[in-house]
Every structure is written in C-alpha cells, then in structure tokens.
Amino acid sequence: MALPAVDGRQYVYRVHAPEDALLADLFREAWHCHDEGPHPRAWDVFDAAAIRRIG
C-alpha cells in the first residue's frame, strides 16, 4: 500500500491480512504504521492510498 505524505513523497507498506480483509482496515493498518515512524505525516484520506494485492 502506498500512502502519500505531506512532503510530496509516497511511502509504501506491506500489510499482511487475510483474503477477506476490508480495504479500509488495510489502509488503517498502514496509516498507523506510518504515523508511528520517522516520516512526515501521511494524508489520512482513504481515497489517496494506492492499494494493491501481491502474492
């Protein structure tokens, strides 16, 4: 999942979740992971996230 941040960059996170996980739950998990890290604040707008299933 890619989250755009206030510095103009996108930060990418791998979120492990079951097949039936809701996209909003994946967003929330990645956003909280980013928020607790050292990077500039990510936009907390669901529509701004790029979510892609891998594997």
Q: Indicate the pTM of the whole model.
A: 0.73
Whether 38 is in a domain gets the answer: yes
Residues 41/35, Cβ–Cβ less than 8 Å: yes
Q: Other CB atoms closer than 10 Å to residue 49's CB: what's the count?
A: 21
Whether 33 is in a domain gets the answer: yes
Whether 53 is in a domain gets the answer: no
Integer Cα distance of 20 and 48 in angstroms: 22
Say whether pLDDT at 9 is over 90: yes
pLDDT digits (tens, 9 = 90+) for 11-49: 998 888 888 999 889 888 898 888 888 888 888 888 888
Q: Position 10: which residue type?
A: Q
pLDDT at position 22, please? 92
Whether 55 is in a domain gets the answer: no
Residue numbers of the domain that contains 27 = 2-48
Residue 51's alpha-carbon distances to 18, 41, 54, in angstroms, are 15, 18, 10
For the chain, what is the domain count?
Answer: 1
Element (H, E) at 29: helix 23-35
